Amino acid sequence: MDKAKRFFKKSLRNILKFLGITGYSDSFKKYVDRDNARSGILVSSIVMVLEFYMICYVLYHMLMDSKIRSYAWLIQHLTAYAVFFLCALLLYIFSYNFLKNRMTNRWIGKIYMIFFAVVALAFGIFISYLDYQKGEHALAFITVEIITMGIMIWRPITSISLVTGSFLLFYFICDSSISATYATQMNLFTVWLAILITTVGRFHQKAIEAKNAEHIENMNLYLSQVAVTDEATGIGNMLAFRNEVGEIRSKSEADFLSRNFLFLDILNFKSYNEKHGFDEGTRFLNAIAHTIKYSFAGEPVARFSDDHFVVFAKRDALNSTAELEVKLASIRRKIMNSDPEVKLGLKVGSYTPEDVLCHTITACDFARYACESINKKYGVDFCEYTTASAEDFARKQYVINNIDRAISQGYIQIYYQPVVLAKNKELCGFEALARWIDPNYGFMPPYTFIPVLEEYRQIHKLDAYVLQEVCRDILNARAKNVPVFPVSVNFSKIDFELMNIEELLEVYVEKQGIGKENIHIEVTESALSEDDRNLRETLHRLKTKDYSLWLDDFGSGYSGLNLLKEFEFDMMKIDMAFLKDFASSPKSRPILKNIITLAKDIGMHTLSEGVETNEAFDFLQEIGCERIQGYLFGKPMPREEVIEKIQNSSFILPNLS
Ligand code: C2E
Ligand code: CA
Ligand code: CA
């Protein structure tokens, strides 16, 4: 029963669809309306030309031809031509205005189209009826059928009604005056069928075309949206941003110059991603993107890349900073509240365009430089672009892009700074310090490249190279019979993640017979933390292998004293900050004294860095600091200078015999 019901329903649906009563979308209607308007122009033009010709033809013959037909015939025909001509003219006006979008009510057009068809068919019937009586063919009627029903698109229900109705009417009118022959009946039937098939067929063909056109239009719409949308967040992408900024630029110079390019960078997003997973990370970015968009409603906002966004924000002349700060603070709050444990944050760089010629992407890059320049600055969240930011950024990029070349081309050189025993000033070792002598930038001090290499996780390349060079220098010195002293080599905390230090020491130190006592391993205090198991275990293994571990920059970091319990260092290198203002600050002495006592109590040796004056040296010697490093005994120097100074006894050398 159900099956029959379903079949019945389906059949009914198909019949209704076939007749053009249901199942056609708005876009199909629009497509057909426009098509009919174009056909309307064509049909009305043909009709107007034909009827004008006919009017002229009849008038000419009336005046010139002696065999003039009756006056009534003339009036009948002229009226019919004129009415048809006027109807065509109206159709032309309707169609033209519809195409120009001046007439939007489709029902007026539809009703008029039917009216025109009825007039046209009536005209055809009338003329052909007159011809039929004279024994001529029904060519006028058939021509009108083809022009109106065949060129324009009709719903099958309408075309079937109009075509069948007009044929029946024509047949009965003619048949009632002169009985139609079998041949006439058959001819009329065949033409009726042909016109019907054509009109219905054209409708369904148009339906398919309209569907394809709709599909293409939807696709175009989708593609044009995708082209300007950021996939992950759904807000605009850089193409959209450039377009919007371009529009502002071309509309109003004043508006353009009253705005700032902002570059927003979410801090620690990587940790958030690692903790919560990629999908949650994307959801978080999405939420933040919409918060930014909401905060800067109506202004160009886009995702620049990863966790970076750009805004072309209005700078209110009166209280610009206050307003901007409120907006940024609310975005920052939202970011930080997403997971207080991850320590998320927001850094913002800003660039004020100087003129309208400024290129959008370059302006975004300037705002980015400004943002990057405060990346590591604790407590600084906003930075306006200056030329210095750009130079900083350029140098950073240079370091990252050229570290491999600098190593392979020998731009990195090792300088050695002497370390002496406090008790007798005898030389007892050196610290190896890297220098980058660049063909473009000249002498680059470590603070310009070490932090950058650490940030971009490239520092292991440098440190491995320094170790290798130090070992080579020791072997060369030995070969030349120059006395060898232990050298301490600096290692960054992330070296322990990025390379296998034990293996490296095995290759360069142990296998080459350098002697473990000749290489000391320096690790900065601030690098240490209790939960870093890998670092602690590696240091422990090095310790059991008899390497001497030196704790660098003691007192400069934020790590607590209890770390001293966790790690097994042999030497405490007291940070040079304690000697700053040594002469003037009365607190320096008791602090240093206590540090030395503490180190001794827990079994660590001591070394003071940054000793520049005899006064400081005397005090350190007095309180029992064992080793001294500082300009008082020598600045970091190239290997050749070290060898020369050892050979000509510029240093106090221990009795080596
Ligand atoms: P650091 O390990 O604390 O090195 C001591 C720094 O203090 C050196 O600066 C040295 O030139 C400077 N110095 C020594 N005596 C005095 C003094 O009496 N007065 C003053 N004012 N300064 C003195 P440098 O060579 O500029 O190195 C800076 C930092 O760069 C180093 O601090 C170290 O943390 C890092 N570094 C240098 N070379 C390397 C390296 O090969 N690898 C790694 N990972 N870091 C390195
Ligand atoms: Ca050091
Ligand atoms: Ca140090």
Would you state the pLDDT for residue 66?
62
Q: Find the domain containing 296 and state its range.
A: 238-385
Count helices and strands in the chain by DSSP H and E runs: 24, 15
- The structural domain count of the chain equals 3
Looking at residues 381-402, what average pLDDT do you find?
87
Nearest ligand atom owner, CA of 636: 1
Region 92-100 average pLDDT: 91
Q: Do 265 and 132 share a structural domain? A: no
Q: Kindly state the DSSP code that residue 42 receives in the 8-state scheme.
A: H
The residue out of 353, 385, 417 marking a domain boundary is 385
Which residues, listed in sequence order, are joined to residue 264 by a DSSP beta bridge? 309, 348
Q: Which ligand is nearest to the CA of 575?
A: 3
* Mean pLDDT confidence for 54-69: 79
550 alpha carbon – ligand 2 mean position (Å) = 9
Nearby residues for ligand 3 (ion, Cβ within 5 Å): 552-553, 609
Weakest mean pLDDT among 401-410, 424-433, 644-653: 644-653
**DSSP letters along 362-410, please?**
HHHHHHHHHHHHTTT-TT--EEE--HHHHHHHHHHHHHHHHHHHHHHTT
**653 occurs within a structural domain:** no
- Give the tokens for residue 17: 């669809």
Q: Evaluate the CA torsion angle 116, 117, 118, 123 in order and state its sign.
A: positive
Residue 376 lies in a domain: yes
pLDDT in tens, 585-608: 888 999 999 999 999 999 999 999
Nearest in space to 313 (alpha carbons), one of 233, 229, 382: 382
Side chain identity at 161, as an amino acid letter?
Answer: S
Q: How far is CA 162 from CA 149, 390, 602, in A?
A: 8, 78, 111
Length of the chain measured in residues: 657
* Any domain includes 654: no
Q: Is there a single domain that holds both residue 500 and residue 368? A: no
Let me know if residue 338 belongs to a domain.
Answer: yes
Per the DSSP assignment, residues forming a β-bridge with 434 are 414
Q: Locate 120 and state its tokens.
A: 């046209």
Tell me what the mean pLDDT of segment 484-511 comes to: 95
Whether residues 412 and 547 share a domain: the answer is: yes
Measured from the Cα of 495, ligand 1's closest atom is: 44
Which protein residue has the closest C-alpha to ligand 1 atom 10? 636
Co-location of 27 and 49 in the same domain:
yes
Least confident of 305-319, 333-347, 504-518: 305-319
Q: Cβ distance 232 to 285 under 8 Å?
A: yes
Three-class SS of 485-517: CCEEEEECCCHHHHCCHHHHHHHHHHCCCCCHH
Residue 597 within any structural domain of the chain? yes
- What number of other Cβ atoms are within 10 A of residue 9's Cβ? 10
Question: What is the rounded average pLDDT of the residues 496-500?
Answer: 93
Quote the DSSP letter at residue 484. P
- Top mean pLDDT of 63-77, 379-393, 626-640 is at 626-640
pLDDT at residue 295 above 90?
A: yes
C-alpha of residue 226 to centroid of ligand 2, in Å: 53
483, 428: one domain? yes
Domain annotation covers residue 502: yes
Nearest to 262 by CA among 353, 330, 351: 351
Q: Are residues 531 and 638 in the same domain?
A: yes
Q: What is the pLDDT of residue 136?
A: 85
Give 223-273 pLDDT, tens digit per residue.
Answer: 888 888 988 899 999 999 999 999 999 999 999 999 999 999 999 898 898
Separation in Å, CA 302 to CA 182, 292, 307, 351, 367: 78, 9, 11, 16, 14
Give the separation between CA 379 and CA 365, rounded to whole angstroms: 23
Q: For atom 19 of ligand 1, which residue has the closest CA?
A: 610
Contacts of 286 (CB under 8 A, 6+ apart): 232, 233, 234
Question: 3-class SS at 283?
Answer: helix
So what's the pLDDT on residue 294? 94
Between these two residues, 219 and 392, which has the higher pLDDT value? 219
Q: Whose CA is nearest to atom 29 of ligand 1?
A: 446
**Residue 444 pLDDT greater than 60, yes or no:** yes
Nearest alpha-carbon partner for 619 in 333, 462, 422: 422
232 part of a folded domain: no
Residues 429 and 363 in one domain: no
Query: Does position 336 have pLDDT exceeding 60, yes or no?
Result: yes
Among the candidates 320, 352, 385, a domain finishes at 385
Q: Which of 165, 193, 223 is the last residue of a domain?
A: 223
Four-CA torsion 652, 653, 654, 657, nearest 10 degrees: -140
Give the mean model confidence (pLDDT) for residues 627-648. Answer: 96
Cβ neighbors of 642 (< 8 A, separation 6 or more) are 416, 418, 430
Give the strand order in the sheet containing 382-384: 301-305, 308-314, 259-267, 345-351, 382-384
Residue nearest atom 7 of ligand 1, based on CA coordinates: 610
pLDDT category of residue 67 using cuts at 50, 70 and 90: low
The helix/strand/coil state of 454 is helix
Higher per-residue pLDDT: 323 or 511: 511
Parallel/antiparallel/unpaired status of strands 548-554 and 571-574? parallel
Quick one: pLDDT at residue 106? Answer: 79
Residue 7 lies in a domain: no
At residue 559, the pLDDT reads: 60
Beta strands 345-351 and 382-384, pairing class: parallel
Ligand 1 surroundings by CB, under 6 angstroms: 417, 433-434, 445-446, 450, 459, 462-463, 466, 490-492, 552-553, 576, 609-612, 629-631, 636
What CATH code is carried by the domain that includes residue 306? 3.30.70.270
Looking at residue 58, its pLDDT comes to 86
CA–centroid distance, residue 505 to ligand 2 (Å):
18
Percent of the chain with pLDDT strictly greater than 90 = 64
Quick: pLDDT tens for 502-555.
999 999 999 999 999 999 999 987 777 767 888 999 999 999 999 999 999 998
- The CATH number of the domain holding residue 521 is 3.20.20.450
Residue with CA nearest ligand 1 atom 11: 636
Cα 490 to middle of ligand 2, angstroms:
5
Between 467 and 68, the more confident residue is 467
What's the longest Cα–Cα distance across the chain? 151
Segment among 154-168, 225-239, 385-399, 609-623 with least mean pLDDT: 385-399
CA triple 384-385-388, angle to 5 deg:
125
Give me the chain's average pLDDT, please. Answer: 91
Rounded Cα gap, residues 288 and 335, in angstroms: 7
Residues 254 and 355: their CA atoms lie apart, in Å, by: 10
- Indicate which atom in ligand 1 lies nearest the CA of residue 573: 3
